[in-house]
């Protein structure tokens, strides 16, 4: 640790030291040296537990008697000078602790003592600096001024750490914008990150619902979590509805004292709320919801548990990023819907034509049946032929309608954490022929984490790819594998911004896919097969797209087809 000879040297060393704990250790040693003390200590306020913890210090007996000591925040006599300073915000300087009623012995040789509060930019107590000497009247104006300067440096270091935490929170929110596949996942991440930096006891997010023109609860960290989707505010209803409607923030202390307070949907009883903060989620000058956070009253009346203007600014910055993330997700949904609507038009036209052909054939069979029944006693063989033709045409219509339904619902997914490997094993058991000349190789990564998917829909996609392979191979090998890959391995994909994927590969030893067909095989109605409408691979693409992933074919002609599915792995809190 460097030897500090004066305050400018201390300031230079601390400014260059980016590690907060190291900087505070340097400061504690400097406080000891520059005031010629026997002990120097820095007690940091733990707001969650309502106490001070001696975290940094220097001196002969500091490690054995003071380090990690927990001190109350109280002004009662006998609780100690540090406790009193933290409770009242008043500095104390005494030349003889025996005449100080608030003194409580920590070191047996202490005679003189200085204790000063460390405040943040909002003037709240963050810590207490304490220096002690074994000499009577050891601290004069010089030492007092040195301690005041050191307190300012400590405040700067703690605020620098807070700024760093806030910046990291905003970066994490930004990453969540890229990684989250749904609004629900984004909101969950928002609440998790905001809790770390704002230290609230409850957080709820309300978003505008166009159908009802209300602001509906879409996420919560408190007791309202089970009511997500059920509770809502009308425009201007209560403080939360007012923030949602006007796009203006509200910061209130003990909001239950305000005559406008209603406390309609809050996470704990109104009388327990110490501070209420709500900020709007605004996009393109239009409020689309609000983030609301609450702090509960603490047991210690000396601790200030209220939100600050700085907290409001941090939450506003988070809300700005969330607004962009929500709009991006909604734009992506609109693009997917637009693409599907274009294909829907083509689907409607083709299905109408194909069903029309089958209906025409059915009518012909019915007319033939009527003719046979009216003219003479029909031969049983003729009836059987007509029955077979009727059944075939009805089956074809059912297949067309099922393709139609699968295509329409491909992007309607309900995700939940799923064991992807187990789902693949079950799918293979269902669709892979038990008596087949095709050998199946499964290579499933057992370290694969749970994946957020709609297992029913993804099972449909994998089944389609397996069945697709069987249309081109009668014997040979089919291999299905899973593993975790990062974005560098698939940097050319549409979803390369996502850090990690669960990769599913389905490959076979068939003829493979021609190079000029790789970009068209997933389009609706592309098919080399007589059966069906050519929607199979298009349905696969719709299902994978709806999961925020990508599917593509990467095999080589003559060496077999190789279909790759990439499913984003979300870093969920």
pLDDT digits (tens, 9 = 90+) for 425-481: 998 888 888 778 888 899 999 989 999 888 888 988 898 898 888 888 888 899 999
Dmax of the chain from CA atoms?
Answer: 131
* Domain-terminating residue out of 304, 329, 354: 329
133 shares its domain with 200: no
Our CA angle for 19, 24, 29, nearest 5°, is: 130
424 shares its domain with 564: yes
Query: In this structure, are residues 214 and 234 in contact, taking their beta carbons and an 8 Å threshold?
Result: yes
Q: Please give the Cα distance from 315 to 199 (Å, whole number).
A: 12
* Domain-terminating residue out of 329, 354, 389: 329
CA nearest 42: which of 85, 102, 99?
Answer: 85
Q: Which domain holds residue 44?
A: 7-165
> Which 3 state secondary structure label does DSSP give 264?
coil
497 has pLDDT over 90: no
CA atoms 505, 509, 515, 521: torsion sign = negative
* Cβ-proximal residues to 340 (8 Å cutoff; 6+ apart), any chain: 410, 411, 542
Highest mean pLDDT among 86-95, 401-410, 520-529: 86-95
CATH code of the domain covering residue 437: 3.30.565.10
Across all residues in the chain, what is the average pLDDT?
Answer: 82
Look at 124 and 490; give whichever has higher pLDDT.
124
CATH code of the domain covering residue 237: 3.30.450.40
180 has pLDDT over 80: no
| pLDDT given at position 184 | 79
DSSP code per residue over 9-63: HHHHHHHH---HHHHHHHHHHHHHHHTT-SEEEEEEEETTTTEEEEEEEEETTHH
431 shares its domain with 533: yes
Query: In this structure, are residues 290 and 250 in contact, taking their beta carbons and an 8 Å threshold?
Result: no
- The pTM (predicted TM-score) of the whole model is 0.60
The pLDDT of 133-148, averaged and rounded, is 94
| pLDDT given at position 573 | 42
Strands 202-209 and 39-46, bridge-based pairing = unpaired
Distance linking the first and last C-alpha atoms of the chain: 38
Q: Please give the Cα distance from 406 to 543 (Å, whole number).
A: 10
Beta sheet of 112-119, edge-to-edge order: 70-72, 51-59, 39-46, 125-133, 112-119, 92-94
Is residue 101, in this structure, part of any structural domain at all?
Answer: yes
- What pairs with residue 117 in β-bridges? 128
Look at 358 and 548; give whichever has higher pLDDT.
548
161 shares its domain with 195: no
210 shares its domain with 82: no
Which tokens belong to 262? Answer: 């209603």
Which tokens belong to 489? Answer: 């391995």
196 shares its domain with 256: yes
- Cβ neighbours of 44 (radius 10 Å): 18
Is residue 354, in this structure, part of any structural domain at all?
Answer: no
Is residue 137, in this structure, part of any structural domain at all?
Answer: yes
Look at 113 and 400; give whichever has higher pLDDT.
113
161 shares its domain with 64: yes
Q: Please give the Cα distance from 107 to 69 (Å, whole number).
A: 13
249 shares its domain with 324: yes
Instruction: For residue 197, give Cα distances in angstroms to 21, 99, 225, 314.
Output: 18, 42, 21, 9
* Cβ-proximal residues to 230 (8 Å cutoff; 6+ apart), any chain: 217
Alpha carbons within 13 angstroms on the beta-carbon side of residue 179 total 22
pLDDT digits (tens, 9 = 90+) for 225-277: 888 888 999 999 989 999 999 999 999 998 888 887 878 888 888 888 889 99
Is residue 119, in this structure, part of any structural domain at all?
Answer: yes
| pLDDT given at position 138 | 94
303 has pLDDT over 60: yes
Look at 489 and 428; give whichever has higher pLDDT.
428
Query: In this structure, are residues 218 and 184 in contact, taking their beta carbons and an 8 Å threshold?
Result: yes
Is residue 405, in this structure, part of any structural domain at all?
Answer: no
454 shares its domain with 570: yes
Q: Please give the Cα distance from 410 to 540 (Å, whole number).
A: 8
């Amino acid at each position: 640790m460097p030897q500090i000879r004066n305050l400018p040297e201390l300031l230079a060393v601390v400014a260059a030291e980016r590690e907060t704990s190291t900087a505070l250790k340097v400061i504690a040693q400097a406080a000891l040296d520059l005031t010629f003390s026997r002990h120097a200590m820095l007690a940091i306020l733990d707001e969650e537990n309502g106490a001070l913890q001696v975290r940094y210090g220097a001196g002969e007996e500091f490690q054995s008697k003071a380090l990690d000591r927990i001190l109350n925040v109280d002004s009662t006599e006998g609780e100690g000078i540090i406790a009193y300073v933290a409770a009242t915000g008043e500095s104390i300087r005494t030349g003889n602790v025996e005449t100080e009623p608030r003194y409580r012995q920590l070191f047996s040789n202490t005679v003189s003592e200085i204790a000063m509060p460390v405040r943040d930019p909002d003037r709240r107590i963050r810590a207490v600096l304490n220096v002690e000497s074994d000499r009577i009247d050891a601290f004069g104006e010089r030492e007092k001024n040195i301690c005041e300067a050191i307190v300012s440096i400590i405040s700067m270091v703690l605020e620098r750490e807070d700024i760093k935490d806030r910046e990291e929170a905003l970066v994490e929110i930004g990453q969540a914008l890229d990684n989250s596949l749904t609004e629900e996942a984004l909101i969950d991440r928002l609440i998790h990150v905001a809790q770390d930096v704002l230290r609230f006891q409850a957080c709820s997010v309300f978003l505008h619902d166009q159908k009802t023109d209300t602001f509906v609860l879409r996420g919560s960290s408190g007791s309202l979590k089970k009511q997500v989707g059920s509770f809502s505010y009308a425009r201007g209803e209560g403080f939360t509805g007012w923030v949602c409607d006007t796009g203006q923030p509200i910061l209130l202390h003990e909001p239950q004292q305000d005559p406008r307070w209603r406390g309609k949907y809050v996470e704990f009883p109104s009388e327990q709320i110490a501070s209420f903060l709500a900020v709007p989620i605004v996009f393109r000058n239009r409020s689309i919801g609000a983030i609301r956070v609450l702090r509960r009253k603490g047991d210690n009346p000396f601790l200030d548990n209220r939100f600050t203007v700085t907290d409001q600014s941090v939450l506003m910055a988070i809300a700005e990023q969330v607004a962009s993330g929500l709009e991006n997700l909604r734009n992506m949904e609109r693009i997917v819907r637009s693409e599907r609507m274009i294909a829907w038009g083509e689907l409607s036209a083709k299905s109408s034509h194909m069903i029309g052909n089958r209906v025409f054939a059915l009518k012909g069979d019915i007319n033939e049946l009527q003719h046979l029944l009216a003219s003479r006693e029909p031969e049983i063989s003729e009836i059987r032929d007509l029955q077979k033709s009727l059944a075939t045409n009805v089956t074809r219509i059912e297949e067309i309608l099922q393709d139609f339904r699968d295509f329409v619902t491909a992007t309607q997914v309900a995700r939940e954490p799923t064991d992807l490997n187990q789902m693949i094993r079950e799918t293979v058991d269902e669709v892979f022929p038990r008596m087949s000349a095709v050998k199946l190789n499964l290579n499933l990564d057992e370290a694969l984490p749970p994946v957020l998917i709609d297992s029913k829909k993804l099972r449909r996609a994998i089944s389609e790819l397996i069945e697709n392979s069987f249309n081109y191979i009668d014997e040979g090998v089919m291999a299905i594998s899973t593993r975790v890959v990062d974005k560098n391995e698939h940097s050319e994909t549409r979803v390369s911004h996502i850090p990690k994927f669960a990769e599913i590969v389905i490959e076979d030893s068939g003829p493979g896919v021609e190079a000029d067909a790789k970009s068209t095989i997933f389009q609706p109605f592309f098919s080399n097969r007589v059966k069906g409408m050519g929607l199979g691979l298009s349905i696969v693409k719709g299902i994978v797209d709806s999961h925020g992933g990508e599917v593509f074919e990467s095999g080589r002609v003559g060496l077999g087809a190789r279909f790759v599915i990439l499913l984003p792995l979300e870093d969920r809190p």
